[in-house]
Amino acid sequence: MRKFLNGPWVLLMPTLIILTCVVLLPLLLSLWTSFTPFKLTKPDTLYRFVGFRNYERLIGDLDFWIAFGRTVLFLAIALNLELVFGLGIALLINKITYGQRTLRTLMMFPMMFSPILVGFQWKYIFNDNIGLMNNFLREFGVIQPIPWLVDGILANVSIMAAEIWSSTSVFAILLLAGLLGIPKDPIEAAKVDGCNSWQVFKNITLPFLMPFVFIAMTIRSLDVARAYDIVQMMTGGGPAKRTELLWTLISRTGYVDAKMGMANAMSYISIFLSIAFTFFFFYKLVEARQRLSYE
Amino acid sequence: MLRLFLSLILAVSFFGSFSAKAETELWGDYSGVTLRVKLIGGGQYEGLYNEVIPWWEENTGGKIEIVTQKNHFELDKEIKKDIASGNLDFCVASNHTSFASQYGDIYTDLNNIMPASVLADYTPLILEHSTVNGRLVQMPRHSDVSNLYYQKSLYEDADNKANFKAKYGYDLTPPETWDQVKDQAIFFSNPPDFYGTQYVGKEEAIAGRFYELVIANGGALFDEDYRPIFNSPAGVEALQWFIDLYNAKAVPDGVLNYLWDDTGLGFASGTIAMNLDWAGWAGFFNDPENSKVAGDIGLVRAPMGSGGLRTGWSGSHSFSMTESCPDKEAAASFLWALTSNKAQMIEARGGLSPTRPAIWDAIIAEKKAEGDEFMLMVFETFKMSLAEDAFTPPLIPEWIEFTNALYPELQAAILGDKSPEDALATASKKATEIMEDAGYF
């Protein structure tokens, strides 16, 4: 006992206790509820164990798997486009010598808006009747209004546009930090050796940036669910489930239908999605670092 | 209870330019009592609090602490979370007849709290709708039913009259049936500048509109055992009505994302010919500062479906008292104040439909005296439709969950992703699961 009290465990105890209370216990409780028919309005159902019934139902629930697939697609497209746009902005800002600070501040503006506000403003932009987009297009002769938030493809594109507008600056800031840290010597040496701009970017800048790319990807893949508010404001997952993502489905099941047990079962299945994305990006991050150290 | 009954006095209230019938008042001395309350927020609802809360505090010495003030759907989520966490540390909350049955027994049976003489001041049918499993869990604030607003000038235009008669073979008059609404909506539409009508297109809103049309067509959502029976000719006919208007572009393309504010503001923008909407919008529609159709509005009772019944999806906003409230007497007094003659007159002046018969008489008398023909027409129309056409949705805890299963299928049919029969079959299957899980059969 004395050995234990004098050991490193004592120093770790405060952290372990806090992590247990704040992370582990809520996780275990939500895991337990996923094996119950827990309804928010019927607290007694928390103690009724039904085994894997919620999970069995989800396995056969086509709506859930369509939402799951759409979420994967949404993540893949949105994160990659955010990366491309963020990289482009970072490279452009890195080039300029005057007003860089001002531009960096301006670039962060979209991050300052709450996702709910972003959802409202983009819902207005894409409103078929009074929205800015259709009124703008009308000036160019597009008389028939485009149903941005109704058409299956356009509605998803609209939501993605809002999400990309809101979060591209996260990539830009992280990648700009990476660009500012790249040593100038290899770039100058390459230019002396006759490399053109594309060759410099592809063979020197990008490999140096890759660890930052994967750090940004990992961070964004973990907090991308903040886009729930944007989707909820713009379409609520509709119409006819055309923009239904796991987040809107889980939220409606848990808080509106009050079926928290089922919602938590959905969440635990979708956690595998987050773990898979995070694991992939971490793997790529380690790989990029190793490659950089070899070179 | 003794203090409450001692403080119960009978008085005659005078306010405005009329005198209402004798009202049982429920004052008391509640000095030192603070009631924590959770209220529905929004412009339409908050005017009442600004007047009634200071009035109650002044007369009782008590204090009101507003813990939450948010829209009803957010408030509903918050109260469900409170139930789950067992954290019911408030006394009074906004409620609604469509929501009340979800909350189990967290709210007090007001039959045991409110004196019979107080309850006698409310419309008996509305109190019946406020009752869940024999327990009166809410005091009704105002009732809602929808009627059809329209732009009068469209019906007075000689060209419109002649062209419509030539095309459809009957006179252009404000519609009496939903088939006529469809004809006229298609006739008036000139997209994208002008549409014949519109409807709320998602969540409980479209499910409710579908429900009332099924009833008007002679159908029903459930049988006596709560087995779904809306996948029927009446149900398909109701859904087809929504589809036909959408396909004919007689409603805006984005209508499936519309909720109440969108339809209200749409009609006020002057780009919609006919609009089925609640009484509370009447004042807004006829206010030149807010509305382009002010001074040009007609109103008729909601039209009839093929079953010869008028649509009349109805419900009442209300206030409830928690079972855990430590000072039920003060809370009862506050519930009374929030739904008193004075409170209901404040809301009636804004166009909302009272739940006390005395206030119907009072507001109609007041509008007659003022010569306000428009609001007089509004109150007379809504009084009649609440008396003759109104019906509530099934007052069961599963109503909201059911509407969440139904509305995506309705949307899928309207957008052409599914046939009406397929959509209703899928919705019916989901509804059956919900009712089975709830133990109805």
Residues B1-14 have pLDDT tens digits of 434 443 444 443 43
Q: What is the pLDDT of residue A227?
A: 84
Which amino acid would we find at residue B391? Answer: F
Distances (CA, A) of A102 to A109, A170, A172: 11, 16, 14
- DSSP-based three-state secondary structure for A97: coil
Question: How large is the ipTM?
Answer: 0.79
Same domain, B91 and B136: yes
Q: Which residues of chain B neighbour A41 with C-beta distances below 8 Å?
A: 80, 83-84, 102-104, 397
- Is the residue at B429 inside a domain? yes
Give the pLDDT confidence score for residue A274 in this predicted structure: 77
Q: Which has more confidence, A294 or B167?
A: B167
Tell me the pairing of strands B92-96 and B34-40.
parallel
Question: Both B351 and B247 in a single domain?
Answer: no
Q: Looking at the structure, do residues B150 and B228 belong to the same domain, yes or no?
A: yes
Of the candidates B80, B253, B254, the beta carbon closest to that of A258 is on B80
DSSP state of A145: P
* pLDDT tens digits, one per residue of A187-215: 889 888 888 888 998 888 998 898 899 88
Q: B79 with B108, same domain?
A: yes
B123 and B165 belong to one structural domain: no
The pLDDT value recorded for residue A295 is 61
User: Which residues is B131 bridged to in the sheet?
Assistant: B136
> What is the 3-class SS of chain B, one letter each residue?
CHHHHHCEEEECCEECCEECCCEEEECCCCCCCEEEEEEECCHHHHHHHHHHHHHHHHHHCCEEEEEEEECHHHHHHHHHHHHHHCCCCCCEEEEECCCHHHHCCCECCHHHCCCHHHHCCCCHHHHHHCEECCEECCEEEEEECEEEEEEHHHHHCHHHHHHHHHHHCCCCCCCCEHHHHHHHHHHHCECCCEECCCCCCCHHHHHHHHHHHHHHCCCCCECCCCCECCCCHHHHHHHHHHHHHHHCCCCCHHHHHCCHHHHHHHHHCCCECEEEEEHHHHHHHCCCCCCCCCCCEEEECCCECCCCCECCECEEEEEEEECCCCCHHHHHHHHHHHCCHHHHHHHHHCCCEECCHHHHHHHHHHHHHHCCHHHHHHHHHHHHHHHHCCECCCCCCCHHHHHHHHHHHHHHHHCCCCCHHHHHHHHHHHHHHHHHHCCCC
pLDDT 10s digit of each residue in chain B, 441 long?
Answer: 434 443 444 443 434 434 445 788 999 999 999 999 999 998 778 999 999 999 999 999 999 999 999 988 889 999 999 999 889 999 999 999 999 999 989 999 999 999 999 999 999 989 999 999 999 999 999 999 999 999 999 999 999 999 999 999 999 999 999 999 999 999 999 988 899 999 999 999 999 999 999 999 999 999 999 999 999 999 999 999 999 999 999 999 889 989 888 899 999 999 999 999 999 899 999 999 999 999 999 999 999 999 999 999 999 999 999 999 999 999 999 999 999 999 999 999 988 999 999 999 999 999 999 999 999 999 999 999 998 999 999 999 999 999 999 999 999 999 999 999 999 999 999 999 999 988 998
Do B404 and A236 make contact, defined as CB atoms within 8 angstroms? no
**pLDDT for the residue numbered A249:** 95
Q: Does residue B392 form part of some domain?
A: no
Q: Is B280 on the interface with A (CB under 8 A)?
A: no
- pLDDT for the residue A283: 84
Q: Which of residues 141-200 of B touch A (CB under 8 A)?
A: 191-192
Question: What digits encode the pLDDT tens for the residues A124-145?
Answer: 999 887 789 988 998 888 878 8
**Shared domain check, B229 and B355:** no
pLDDT of residue A1: 64
| Separation of first and last alpha carbons in chain B | 41
Longest dimension (CA), chain B: 73
| CA B28 distance to own-chain centroid | 32
B121 CB within 8 Å of a chain A CB: no
A43 touches chain B (CB under 8 A): yes
Q: Give contacts of B 192-251 with A, CB under 8 A.
A: 192, 201-203
Domains of chain A: 61-294 (1.10.3720.10)
Looking at the fold, whether B296 and B332 belong to one and the same domain comes out as no
My answer on whether B246 and B138 are in the same domain is no
In a domain, B261, yes or no: yes
Within 10 angstroms of residue B98's Cβ, the number of other Cβ atoms is 25
How many domains, chain B? 2
CB contact under 8 A, A41 and B103: yes
**Model confidence pLDDT, tens digit, residues B299-310:** 999 999 999 999
B200 domain residue, yes or no: yes
In a domain, B371, yes or no: yes
Contact A240 B252 (CB under 8 A): no
**What are residue B38's phi and psi, to 5 degrees?**
-120, 120
Across all residues in chain A, what is the average pLDDT? 89
Q: For B152-170, what is each residue's pLDDT tens digit? A: 999 999 999 999 999 999 9
Domain around B407: 146-313+398-437
Among A150, A251, A262, the strongest candidate for a mutation testing the B interface, having the largest count of B CBs within 10 A, is: A150
Whether A5 has its CB under 8 Å from any CB of chain B: the answer is no
| Domain match, B269 and B302 both | yes
A62 vs B: CB within 8 A: no
The pLDDT value given to residue B11: 41
Chain A residues with CB-CB distance to B271 below 8 A: 129
pLDDT tier at A97 (50, 70, 90 boundaries)?
confident
pLDDT at A278: 79
Q: Indicate if B172 and B253 belong to the same structural domain.
A: yes
- Option in A143, A238, A260 nearest B408 (CB): A238
Q: Is B324 on the interface with A (CB under 8 A)?
A: no
Partners of residue A255 in chain B, C-beta under 8 Å = 77, 80-81
- The answer to whether residue B76 is domain-embedded is yes
What is the per-residue pLDDT for B1?
44
CA separation for the pair A154, A235 (Å, rounded): 12
Q: Looking at CA atoms only, how far is residue B13 from chain A in angstroms?
A: 40
Residue type, A216: A
- Distance in angstroms between the alpha carbons of the first and the last residue of chain A: 50
B221 part of a folded domain:
yes
pLDDT of res. A139 = 86
CATH number at residue B222: 3.40.190.10
Residues B191 and B293 in one domain: yes
B366 and B263 in a single domain? The answer is no
